[in-house]
Amino acid sequence: MNVSHFELIFKPQSPVPPADTVLQGYFLSISNLEEKALSFRLDLVTSPVSDPMRTLAGNTTVIVDVAGTNNDFSYSLSGSAASKSFRLNRFITIPAHATAKVAILPADPFPEPIGDGTGDPADYEARGYVTLRLPSLLVANGQFLSFEAQLDRPANVLLTPQNRATYFRDGEVIESQTQAGLPLASGSALNQIEAESGFPFPIFENPREFELIDSVANLDLDRAPEALAELIAVAAASDIDTKAFNAALKEAGIGMAIERRKVTAPDTATNRVTEDA
C-alpha cells in the first residue's frame, strides 16, 4: 500500500540568507495489530536523478527500533542514482501487538552542521513517497521450497508518518526542533495491508540442493542475489522441470530463467563428439 509522501532535507531553510540550516528526516511508526509476528517490506519511490545531492543512493542512514532491539543501524536502502525505487535491504519484522519506529535521515557524505564552518554548505533534498507491503516468505519444508503468505487475509496495522526537523542557527547551534504528522494516503491511521500470495518451487532431490534451500530460506535480503544465482546454477545442473522452475521465478517477479542447451565438444582421447545438456 502507499503510505505517505516523504521529504529529506539538509540545507538552508530559505535560499535568501540569513537562514537556519534544516536537518529533516522521515519517521514511520508501524503497529502490528495481529496475533503473530509479521515481516514488512518498505520502499521509498522517487524519480531517477543524476544530481548526487538529490538522490537517496548512499545519502541516507536508516534506523529501526522494535521492542527488544533498540536503534538497529544494520538497515540500509538499496539502489543507485538511476533508481526510482529504494528498498530496505531487510524486512522489518514486528512481533504481535508491537510497534516499530523506522527513521530515515540524511547522512554522509554531507558535512556535519556543527563544526568550524569550513565545510561545503549543506544543500541536500530528496522527495517521493513510501510504500509498505506484506510479502510472502521463503520457507523450506522437507523437499519443498515455497513462498508462503504470512496471513490468509489482509493484516491490520496502525501507521503514523512524521517529519522531524532540527534547525541550526549559523550552522552550529541548535535553534529549535519540530515534528509534524503527515497525511496518510488512505486518510486513516488504521489500515489493512494485503498479504501477498505464495507459490511452490519445484522439488529438489540432491542433498546439496537441500543445504542451499535452507540457506536461501533463512537469508537476509542483502545476500539474496548471490544465493538466488547459486540456486539457479544448481537447478540448471539437475534434472528438475525447468518450465516449472522458470514459472515460479516469473511469479516471484524475478527476471531470470534457465534454459537447457546442447553443447558439443570434441573428445580428444577418442576423437568422439560428446553431448552435455
Cα(277)–Cα(264) distance, rounded to whole angstroms? 9
Judged by average pLDDT, the poorest of 34-38, 78-82, 170-174, 179-183 is: 170-174
Cα(63)–Cα(70) distance, rounded to whole angstroms? 9
Element (H, E) at 66: strand 60-66
Question: pLDDT tens digits for 26-64?
Answer: 999 999 999 999 999 999 999 888 787 788 988 899 999
Q: What is the pLDDT of residue 134?
A: 94
Question: pLDDT tens digits for 116-139?
Answer: 444 556 788 999 999 999 988 877
pTM of the model: 0.72
Q: What is the pLDDT of residue 246?
A: 73
Q: Nearest Cα to 224, choosing from 95, 133, 137?
A: 137
CB 60 within 8 A of CB 106: yes
**Domains of the chain by residue range:** 2-135+149-193, 202-276
* Residue 65 confidence (pLDDT) above 70: yes
Judged by average pLDDT, the poorest of 10-24, 28-42, 181-195, 232-246 is: 232-246
Confidence tier at 103 by pLDDT (50, 70, 90): very high
Cα(49)–Cα(44) distance, rounded to whole angstroms? 14
For 76-99, give the DSSP string.
Answer: -B---TT-SEEEBSS-EEE-TT-E
